[in-house]
Each structure stands twice: as structure tokens, then as C-alpha cells.
Chains A and B, each alone.
Chain A
Amino acid sequence: MGKPPPSSSSSSDPSDNKSEQKLQAVLLADTFSNAFHPITLEPYRDHHHDVIGGFGGGVPPHLSCRGKERPLVLCPLNNVPVLHHSIEFLQGNGIEELFVLCCASSGSADAVEGYIRANADNNSGKANGRSAEGGGRKIVWSSKLSITVLRFTDCTNAGDALRELDRQNVVKSDPFILMQGDVVSNVDLRGAMEGHARRRKKDAAAIMTILLQEVGGWGLDGGNDDDDDDDDDDDFRVDDADERGEEKKEGDKTTVFDDRLTARRDHFLPPLRSSTDDLLLALDTTHSNRILLWDDRDSVARRRDAKCCSIPTIFFQENSSSILLTRNYLDVGIDVCSPDVLARFSDEFDYRELRNQFVSNCVSEEESGLQSGRIYAHIMDRGEYAGRPLGDMRRYHRVSMDLLRRWAYPLVPENYNGSSSNDEAVRYVCERHLVYRDVGGMNRSGRNRSHVGRSTQLLGTLLLGPNYSIGERCRLQRSVLGSNCTLMDDCTIIDSHLWGNVLIESGACLSGVIVCEGAIVRRGAVLERGCVVGRGCVVGEGVRLREFTRITCAAAEVEDDDDYSGFEDSSSSEEDSLSEGSSEGDGKKCNGAALDTTTTMASMKITDTLTNHEVVGMDGIGRVYVPSPPDDYDSDEDGDAARDKALELMKSQSIGYDMTLIYRKWQKLQTEDEDDGFSLDEMGSDEDDDIDMRDEWMNDSREAAAGGRNMHTSSSTSHVGDGGMQITGRQKGVDVVKELRDICLEHETSSPIENLRIELNSFKFSQNATYGDCCKGAMMAVMEKIVDESKGSILTPGKLVGLLKKMMEYWGSLFQSICIGSDEEKEIIHSLELMALGHVGDKFVSMLGTEPAFRFVLQTLHDQEIVNEEAILEWASERKEEGKDSPLGELFWQKPIQDFLEWLQEDSGSDDDGDDSSVVESD
């Protein structure tokens, strides 16, 4: 009719890519999940196909035959297929060329292509020619956007599909958008794309930007408050400065325990997260949110596998002042990528998944210096919304309601246009309490038969599609009605989705149910939460469907057959119990009931493969769908356990599932883990000891305070010991120092001393010990080693010095690093003193207590610059007041020691006069 669009035909010509690269996008139309089974197993038939049939010439004949399965992306969300939402979203963001990757069966690819063709702009549809390029056919969606459907039917995962895409070499724009097929969003991508381009210009390795939405974590962490500050709900911020200097630099890897935190009372479970998603991220907030860690193991797995995550310390050294460790963000499934990403996929041929393999490896690879890819995060603005309705049905319901509650404005029903075929324009009007009605048919008299009974309550957040008819005394809440739905009198529809051409007879009650096209719910039937009624199924009169039952007409999967056989024997009794107990619906029972249905179905297989009459009623149609366990379930589990697990998963993916159950489970796991964690942290000493130690320490500190005065007059030997260790207190001193000594002794001298230092350091922190304690422990260990070395022979002072010197070649650097000041050095002398006096063990007394030995050791340490003269002199001034008759004094007033001290004093008095070597000679 109109003028032929001259330039649109040329725009579909691939040759004009040279002039200016069009902005491209890749849509992964399959999510490789079976959360929407059995809906996605059912044959997809749509009137759009009929439209195609009438289409002039442009459609290949095989398209007219119906697809075998419903593609996931063609599931309607608020009466518009999710694919349509995605395409409109991309078009709104200025995408000019879109590749839709279909990996499922060719039937579903046909359906996707058929849908796109049927809904493309009618006038440009004429110009839709075929081009052989890329194996796909270019479809002109509008004058701005052309779409190519690529069929990679032999690909079983996202990685394969992306590799195949790379092989075809059609994605050229930099950046391009990589989007999961199920994203519904109102994000403005311009900001993310600009940021990406800016980083990419500076650094060619910045290959990817992932969009994140802040939705809050699972609340397992002890968030400090729940006001809406931007970043401290579940965040754990590691800030710069000293902490980093001391702790982080010390090893190759630092471990950050993330489950030290306790549960919060008023937590909110994030509704947009899937039940398995517990993404832990580390973001470098100084460098435009570079992702340093991507850990998307689910909560249970993370607790099972390893209780920690690791961040390479190199990230701390790369002069970033702030690293954010958070579980607040949700991956929305939209990425801004450079074509390098596809190349990377081709290189790493074993990557199967985009997120947990590609991204998490890519960010952690950087530590090994490959520098092949940096990934950044773009945090969405507060007004921006992104939901993934096809992840599971719980989120499907949630996203649907969020859209109706206008969270994704302007993506609201008023603005849906061209949702169905063009002649039947649907226009919604938002009325009070967020009730949306179709008024599109108003102007065409007779077309709109929409009718609501006067006594019917429409209670908010409802979407009523075209041509609905609702009887009297119904109650509707939080639901979506597709086109041509009929509700008779006295129905209750809550949290439910009716997909079109659905008939609900009077008195039926649906709560949390998805009813697919053409299904019928007969009089008085009750469908409990989480049920799914497949395409064309019929739920019989008065039937009560147990919660989380999924009814389908699709043929059973072949591999399920073996599993059924095991149940056949017990089926008859179960059947009875099912019919009896059909009125009960408590939570415990549901598990059993769901299993019942599996067994009954097994028995029915013999008589009728397609209908379980005892479930859907004698006048019903449809079989119960049982999820098949995932392929990779652990082989040690038997079939039952695996099936239970699959059932449990299916339930958690259904509408109405109480997420607090999952939350509680995790909480339980966590408390268990925390118990374990303690014993690990204690490094061998149990908790009881810990408490004892603390009490003792209290006593000691009091004693120490008193001991300061007692010291001079102390008579008993035990108190002398106290006096010598007044800084820390005896009990603790022995304990901690002994532990430290043991650590030193256990250390293999073949490995670098640095490792020992870290070990000591971590122990020091865990026990709140001082470096002095470390010095003491280390010195004792050295002496112990010397004793060992001597192998029982009596050590003459000369031999002792020789061995000590040898030891210090290895240990010296340790002392140098742990001796911060003269206090620590004094501790070394103290420890020697203790050993000489026999408080630690008798073996040292003969070695150190004899006349010149102590002095020689002191001097050697001084020579080795482990103890400097300041410390020695300080020590001397402490001991000067000691009486000659006390053991300490006895040691101190030894002649050689006094000589040495005298010399030291002279030496420090006249600084440059004598150096160390001269002292040795003076001996």
C-alpha cells in the first residue's frame, strides 16, 4: 500500500557493513534449563503461524508445519511473548542488527522464526528476502532493526553456541550486546556501552561489561541495618591502608571467610533471585567496578565445597584503595561485549557456560598475568529494572507482577503495542488498584465482548486481556488473564496466570497456578499453589490438584520409562490413600502426595499413557509431569534420592513456594558450619581451652599488676619466673609461647622462612599475642634446635656460639622481621634468661647457665644484629636492682656478662670507637 521502503532493502544487504558498523546484539533464545517443563515440552501452535500461511510467498513451506516444542522465549509474559519484550527492549536501545541463537530443536527454532516473521512490521515484511549469509535468514523487523535467526540445533550449551557464532564470523560490532533470552528490562544501555567503549579504548583487555542490579543478598549475612544506603546491606568492604599492608600482602593468597556473620532478624529474601543463586562478587570500586571475583556457586555448594573464596593479592597491590566484597548484586543477563569474547570462547573449547566458567575463570586468570580479559560491572540505576521471568515460575510470577506494579516503567501494559497481530491491536488502560483492562476493541462494535459480573471483586494487580468474560461473585487478585478467557461464577483466581482461551468453570479455585492455552478447569476444581495445567489439559469436576502438580498432555519423555517401573507394585495402595487424603494439604503431606502422583502415574501407564484419571478426574485430560533427575546427578545416589531432589527443585521453582524454607535450610547449614569453622580456627586447641585461657589471662593481668611491686622482694622461684615475664603473664606466656615454639619447631627448614613467618603471624593474630611472644617462641625453638643438633654431647660455650651462628644464618631474617623494636629484642633476652634458669627445661641450664655461655650468646646475637645494644642495656638496667642472691641476679651479675655490658656502655658512649668485630677479638 504505502511507498516501498527503498533503503530498507539495502539495509539488509550485508555488504554495507563496511561503511558503518551497525550496532549488533546476540540473543540466546535458550536457557538450557528445564524449569518450565512441561510447558516447554508441549507442542507450540499459534495463530501467528496461520498468519504466516497466508503470507505471500516469503515463507518457506516447512515453516507451515507446526513446531514440536514451545520455545521458552515464546512463553507469554503479561500476554506478550518474552521474546517480544526482548526485541523491543533491544530496539529501544538502538540495536540495528540482532542475532537470535536457537539451540533447541529445529521445531522451536521454526516457531521463533515464525513468530518474528509474523510480528515484523507488516510493510517491511514484504521486503523480507532471504540471504544465505550466516545460515540464517534476515528478517526486517522494522526499518531500524533486522533480525537473523541462527539455528545451532546441535549445540547443547551456551558455550557451543557462542563458538559456532564465532565461526560464522557475523558479529563484528564493538561493542555488541549479549543477552539472555529471558530478560525483561527497561535499562538504558547507553551508559553501559559508553563506559565499555571508554575502558576499551584505554585498555584493549577490557572485553566485557556485565550489568548488575542491586537487589540485596539472601540475608544470611549480618547486615548492619536495613535502611537504604547504597552499599552496606550485605557488603563487606575491605579498605586500603594498614590492614592491607599487614595482612594481605603477606601471602600469595588471602582467604576471606564470609560466614562469620549471623542471620538478621528482619531479612528480606530477594524475590528476583533464583533459589540457587547466591552470587559472590568482588568489585574494585576505584577502577570502575572491575570484577575481581565471580563466585556463583550456590549457597549450599559453597558451604559444602569450600568455606572460603580467594582473591589474588595482586589485586590489592594494584593500587586500588577499595575492594568491595558483596552478595548484593544480581546478574541480570545482559552484557556489553567486545567480539574478543567470542574469540575467547573459541580458544577455550571446553567452556560450556557463560557465567560460571567463562567469567569466573576470566577474572581469576589475571593473577597468572595472562591479561587476556578484564571484566567490568555496570551497576544499574535505581529506577532501572531487569527481571528474568523464565528462570523459574516463581520469578515468572514475580516479574509479571512487578511489571504490572510499574517497576519497569515505561515497560507497562499501556505501552505494549503490536503485541499480537496487527489487526487486533490490544490497548490496556490502567485503572484503580492497578487493574489493567483491554480497551482495544472498544471502537469496533461487537468485537469486544469483555464483561465482568457486577458482584465480582477485582482486587488489584490484574491484567485482563482482550475478550474476557468473568461471571458473578468471582474474586481475582494478582493474576493475568490472556485473551479469550472465560471465568464462570464464583471462581477464585489468585496469583495465577491464564494464558489465553482458558475456560474456568464455576466454583473453581486457582491459587498460584499457570494455566496454558486452551486448558479447561471444570466445576469446583481446586488447584493448589504451584500447579501447572498444560496446553489443552482438562482438570475434571471437583478434582483437587495437590500443590506443585504439573499436568501436561505432552508425551512422556523416553528416558523416564525405566524409572517408573520400580514403583508399580505399590501403586494400588497409594492410589487409595491419595483419593482419601485429597482434602488435606499441609506441608508435610505434600511431599508424599507428590510422590503418590508419580507412583499412580506409573500404574496408569499400562492403561492410558496420556491421562492420569485419578489425578485429573474421570473427565480430565493430562498426565502428571515428573521431573527427570539432572543428567549429572551423583552416581552414588540411588534413583529415588535423585528424583526427590529433582522434585524438590521443581517445587522451589514453582509459584507460591515459600522461600523461607530454603532460607532456613541454609541457615541450618550455616550454623553447622560455624561450629566446624571454630575448631578449624582454633588450630588445635578446643573451645574449652580457649575459655580457660581467657579466665587465666584475667587473673594474670591482675597478678601482673601486683607483680610489678612484688618483683623486687620475690623469694620463691616460681615468682621469679613471673617477674621475668611480667609483660604477658605466666600462664598465657607459657601457653602461647610454647605454641609458637612448637610451630617453629615443626617448620621444615627446607622451605623458605617466609612461610613460617606467615604462620606465626596468623597465630599471633588469632591469639592476640604480641611479637614479643613470637620472638620468645622462636628463640626457644632455636635453642631447642641447638640442643638437638648437639646430639647429647655437652656444649661448650664455643661450640654453642658456633651452632648459634649457623642457626642464625637461616633464622636471622625471621627475627629481623618480627623484632619491631627493643621490646621484642628484650623478650629474646628474657627467653634466654628463662632457659638459663631452667624454667623451661633442665636441658638448657647446663648449656646457658654456666659461666661464660650466656654472655657469649648475648654477644653473638648482638653481632648478628638480632639484639642491639639498646635492648641489652635496657635489660641490664632492669636487672641491676636485682639482688645477687636471687636466681635472676645470680645470672645477671656473672662476671662475663658484666664485662660485656661495661664494654657495651663504653661502646655506645663513644659511638664509632669499636665495632662488633673488635669485640669478638677482645674475647
Chain B
Amino acid sequence: MRSGTYRYGTERLPAAARTADLLRSIVGATRWTNAAQLLTLLRGIGNELAGIGGGGGNGGGSGNRDPAIGNVIRRVMYAARDEADRAPVDDDDDDGGGGGGGGGGTKNSSSTRGGGESFLSSMLWAHPRQTAVGASHHRRMRSGSGSVGMISESSEHHHYPPPSTTTSSTQVYPPHYYARRDDLRPSVMEAIQEMISELEDLHKNINEQALQHIHNGEIILTYALSRTVELFLKAAAAKKRKFQVIVCEGSPHFGGHVMARSLAEAGIDTTVIHDAATFAIMARVNKVLLPAHAVLVSLANGGLIAPSGSNMVALAAKQNSVPVVTVAGMFKLCPMYPHEGQDTLNDLISPSTVIDYRLMGDPVLSEVEFANPVHDYIPPQLIDLIVTNIGGFQPSYIYRLLAECYHSDDWEAFE
């Protein structure tokens, strides 16, 4: 995760798993007594990581390099909120009064007491107090410089502002979050542990569904390199399904070549085509399997951020009425808005894969602008199914999943 050269097609999963490990060690080691402190701490970590993740510079202010990191933190925050809401609030009157926050907050907290209720209410707040929260939010953490390794290896002596000292945070959370809760730590740790094991079993869970989606004799088209897709196809092949795979090479990074080799190694009938031939060959294809960098969710959206060039594939599939299936772990579910993606969410990486630097000696050519975007946005209407580790969903259903995974107050991006 250190700032080295960008390696295209790297896996997101390890980053997510490392983030979870990091959270476990930090949350386990630091001193906090109530939910508000914990949440502030988590948000601080999120901001820090987003800043380091490299994407911190864009207008959306979200760590777009690896949205998975932020997602993992949101999941933990959700778990913490869930625990805080669910637990008995008997001692709320004793020492929770110190919070004494805004009136609106109290109302909410009273309505969200009790387990089942909180779940429903969190679903109903599709986009509730976010604007208010966003306005009060201010940048607490600004790291001058640093790396993730810095935190992971020296979480002990890292400097988080003690949550209690930030005055504005008193308004952010419902009052009962400020109650001292000794039982919170084990349950949050348990939630983190749960998530870690979920990440570990991610591919297994996804691959279990392979047989439902890949049938004998099918021709499946996939784009560039993706670990998830690769394992998914291999899982189907391992269960004696006979099918043919057409791999788009994914210019200019040519991850498709690696992919094709790996698939052929597993005994899958593999064909590589160049990207421009996608449309021509689409008529023969039964199903398109796309990798995802992130699944964007905002309200009814379920769009994808995928390797650049895959939008073209999805459009070609739409034209030929070929179903498009996306394979992605739940940790890729992102509460972001697609309009953030137009100019800023993308990563423009070095043009070295597009053109040789030596040609830059040409005074004419050096004035030409070479863009090398990494990602594409695929609108939800082009996608038929998103296969996650907890099952397959239509894009329109994704926002419900979102409410199950993240608390709406945490949707706002880390920065």
C-alpha cells in the first residue's frame, strides 16, 4: 500500500483484509470507553487511510484508490452503532446525560432503541441527516505525510486526538453513545473478527454460486484480469462444467493475457481477443462476466466501477441482449455517487503503457495529451446481476444491502 508504482489489476481483497487486521489491533489496543469515542477513532483512521490511499486529493474527497478500505471501516462503525443501539440503556440516565446534545438526536435515539427496530429504522433513513452531519464535519485528521505501514506497525505511538477533546463531536452522535459501555469492546471485536472471517471465506462463498451461473456449453466473455472472476470460472471448471471463455486482453495493461494463461492452466477452453473485437464476437457470447473495482450505490443505483474498457463491453452486451453478470465481494459495496466519478473518481495513471517515453523526444508528439484512465463507470441498467458472497442481486436491490452493511450516518466519504 505504500506509494510505489501503480500495479494494475492488483487484488482488492488483501487490502481489505489488512485493513480489518489493522482495525482489530487498533481498536483492541486503544483506550476508549463509549461508542462515540470509538466512532470518532474509526473515522479518524478512515480519514488517515483515505489520505494515504492516494485518492485523497480529489474533489469528492473519498479514497478512491481503494474504496474497500473505507468500506471495511464503515462496516465496523456500523457494528459499533448497532451494538450501542441494541444494548440496554438503563445507565443512560446516570452518566449519559453528559452528552446532552441536540433535540433531534434524542428523538432519534429513543426511536431506535431495541434491536429489530433499529434495523428497520436504519433502512428507512435512506439519506437522513447526512447533510447536517456533513456540514458539521470538519477535517480533524490531516496527516502531513505518512504511510499505512506507519500505522500498522506503530499503532501504539500514533497520535489520534483523544475523541473526548473534539468538541464538535458531541453533536454528531445520539446522546446514549456517550454512555460508558464496557461490554462494547468485546462485541465490536467480535464483529471485526466476523468480518475478517467473512473476508477469508469470500471467494469460497462466491464460488459456491458458480454452478448457478455457468452452464455447460456456454460461451462466456470476460474482460481483463480479475482474481474474483478467475476463481469463479475455475470453480465452475473444477465442478466439471464445460464451457468456453473469451478473454478481452484489456489494453493497454493486457491483464487479459495473464488471465488467459491462468484459465488455460486450469483446463478451460480459452480464447483471447483484442478489445476492439468485442462487439463483433458478442453475438456468439452467452454471458458476460465483469470484474468490479467497486459497486457504487446511491439510492436506486447499483452501478459499477470497473476496469476501463468494460463499459464498452457492457454496451455491446446490451446491444446483443447478452446478460451481464458481475462478480464482487460485499466489501466492494460503496456508498458513493456515480457523478463523483466522472472526472475525479478515476485514476489517471502514467501514460507509459500507452506510449513509450522515448517517443516523447518528438517535439510534436510531446504536445499530445496521453490519458490513461484506469476505471470505467458502468450504469446499473447495463448490469443484470451482481453476484456477491451473500448471493446474487439485481442492481436495483443493492441499496437495500447497503443499509444492511453501513449506517447511513457513515456514508459520507472519508477524506
Binding site for B on A (CB under 8 A): 1-8, 88, 91-94, 119, 121-123, 141-144, 186-188, 190, 214-216, 226, 228, 233, 267-271, 381-385, 402, 405-418, 422, 425, 427-434, 439, 443, 460-461
Q: How far is the CA of A4 from the CA of B159 in the complex (A)?
A: 7
Partner of B156, one of A7, A381, A415, A429: A7
Q: How far is the CA of A712 from the CA of B37 in the complex (A)?
A: 116
A-B pairs, 3 with minimum CB distance: A2-B159, A268-B361, A414-B57
Q: Are A428 and B57 in contact (CB under 8 A)?
A: yes
B158 within 8 Å of A (CB atoms): yes
Q: How far is the CA of A415 from the CA of B5 in the complex (A)?
A: 13
Using known A-B contacts A8-B157, A405-B370, A422-B144, determine if residue A383 contacts B59 with beta carbons closer than 8 Å: no
Which of chain B's residues has its CB closest to A411's CB? B3
Q: Are A214 and B351 in contact (CB under 8 A)?
A: no
Q: How far is the CA of A402 from the CA of B361 in the complex (A)?
A: 12
Q: Are B57 and A427 in contact (CB under 8 A)?
A: yes
Q: Are B154 and A7 in contact (CB under 8 A)?
A: yes
For the complex formed, measure the closest distance between the CB of B276 and the CB atoms of chain A, giving whole angstroms: 20
Interface of A, secondary structure class, is loop
Q: Are A119 and B159 in contact (CB under 8 A)?
A: no
B51 within 8 Å of A (CB atoms): yes
Q: Are B5 and A188 in contact (CB under 8 A)?
A: yes
Q: Are A414 and B58 in contact (CB under 8 A)?
A: yes
Q: How far is the CA of A384 from the CA of B357 in the complex (A)?
A: 10
Q: How far is the CA of A252 from the CA of B154 in the complex (A)?
A: 59
Residues of B within 8 A of A402 (CB): 360
Q: Are B157 and A92 in contact (CB under 8 A)?
A: no
Residues of A within 8 A of B158 (CB): 2-3, 5, 143
Using known A-B contacts A143-B154, A269-B361, determine if residue A122 contacts B144 with beta carbons closer than 8 Å: yes
Using known A-B contacts A271-B366, A405-B369, A428-B57, determine if residue A1 contacts B161 with beta carbons closer than 8 Å: yes
Residues of A within 8 A of B284 (CB): none
Which of chain B's residues has its CB closest to A5's CB? B157
Q: Are B6 and A215 in contact (CB under 8 A)?
A: no
Q: Are B350 and A406 in contact (CB under 8 A)?
A: yes
Q: Mark B291-319, 1 if CB is under 8 A from A, else 0.
A: 00000000000000000000000000000
Partner of B57, one of A122, A415, A434: A415
For the complex formed, measure the closest distance between the CB of B41 and the CB atoms of chain A, giving whole angstroms: 12
Q: Are A418 and B159 in contact (CB under 8 A)?
A: no
Residue of A141, A406, A428, A432 with most chain B CB atoms under a 10 A cut-off = A406
Q: How far is the CA of A913 from the CA of B59 in the complex (A)?
A: 103
Q: Are B157 and A417 in contact (CB under 8 A)?
A: no
B339 within 8 Å of A (CB atoms): no
Q: Are B6 and A409 in contact (CB under 8 A)?
A: yes
Using known A-B contacts A3-B159, A5-B159, A88-B145, determine if residue A407 contacts B351 with beta carbons closer than 8 Å: yes
Partner of A410, one of B5, B142, B149, B156: B5
Residues of B within 8 A of A226 (CB): 359
Q: Are A123 and B349 in contact (CB under 8 A)?
A: no
Contacts A/B (CB < 8 Å), 19 sampled:
A7-B157, A8-B157, A91-B147, A92-B2, A226-B359, A228-B359, A269-B361, A382-B352, A383-B350, A406-B350, A407-B357, A410-B3, A414-B58, A417-B57, A422-B142, A422-B144, A429-B59, A430-B344, A443-B138
Q: Are B353 and A406 in contact (CB under 8 A)?
A: no
For the complex formed, measure the closest distance between the CB of A588 and the CB atoms of chain B, giving whole angstroms: 22
B94 within 8 Å of A (CB atoms): no
Q: Are B150 and A385 in contact (CB under 8 A)?
A: no
Q: Are A94 and B349 in contact (CB under 8 A)?
A: no
Residues of B within 8 A of A411 (CB): 3
B90 within 8 Å of A (CB atoms): no
Q: How far is the CA of A411 from the CA of B59 in the complex (A)?
A: 18
Residues of B within 8 A of A408 (CB): 350
Q: How far is the CA of A868 from the CA of B302 in the complex (A)?
A: 93
For the complex formed, measure the closest distance between the CB of A51 and the CB atoms of chain B, giving whole angstroms: 12
Residues of B within 8 A of A461 (CB): 369
Residues of A within 8 A of B159 (CB): 1-3, 5, 123
Residues of A within 8 A of B55 (CB): 414
Residues of A within 8 A of B358 (CB): 214-216, 228, 233, 268, 270
B160 within 8 Å of A (CB atoms): yes
Residues of B within 8 A of A425 (CB): 142
Q: Are A142 and B4 in contact (CB under 8 A)?
A: no
Q: Are B350 and A407 in contact (CB under 8 A)?
A: yes
Q: Are B5 and A409 in contact (CB under 8 A)?
A: yes
Q: How far is the CA of A270 from the CA of B358 in the complex (A)?
A: 7
Which residues of B5-64 have CB atoms within 8 Å of chain A's CB atoms?
5-6, 51, 54-59
Residues of B within 8 A of A428 (CB): 57
Residues of B within 8 A of A91 (CB): 145, 147
Q: How far is the CA of A415 from the CA of B51 in the complex (A)?
A: 9
Q: How far is the CA of A434 from the CA of B54 in the complex (A)?
A: 18
Q: Are B349 and A92 in contact (CB under 8 A)?
A: no
Q: Are A382 and B353 in contact (CB under 8 A)?
A: yes
Q: Are A216 and B361 in contact (CB under 8 A)?
A: yes
Which of chain A's residues has its CB closest to B142's CB? A425
Q: How far is the CA of A431 from the CA of B158 in the complex (A)?
A: 35
Q: Are B369 and A460 in contact (CB under 8 A)?
A: yes
Which residues of B69-101 have CB atoms within 8 Å of chain A's CB atoms?
none
Q: Are B357 and A92 in contact (CB under 8 A)?
A: no
Known: A93-B4, A417-B51. 9 other contacts (CB 8 A): A7-B156, A121-B144, A123-B159, A186-B4, A187-B5, A267-B361, A406-B349, A409-B350, A412-B348
Q: How far is the CA of A169 from the CA of B369 in the complex (A)?
A: 49
Q: How far is the CA of A2 from the CA of B366 in the complex (A)?
A: 48
Q: How far is the CA of A188 from the CA of B356 in the complex (A)?
A: 19
Q: How far is the CA of A581 from the CA of B351 in the complex (A)?
A: 44
B108 within 8 Å of A (CB atoms): no
For the complex formed, measure the closest distance between the CB of B347 and the CB atoms of chain A, giving whole angstroms: 8
Q: Are B145 and A418 in contact (CB under 8 A)?
A: yes
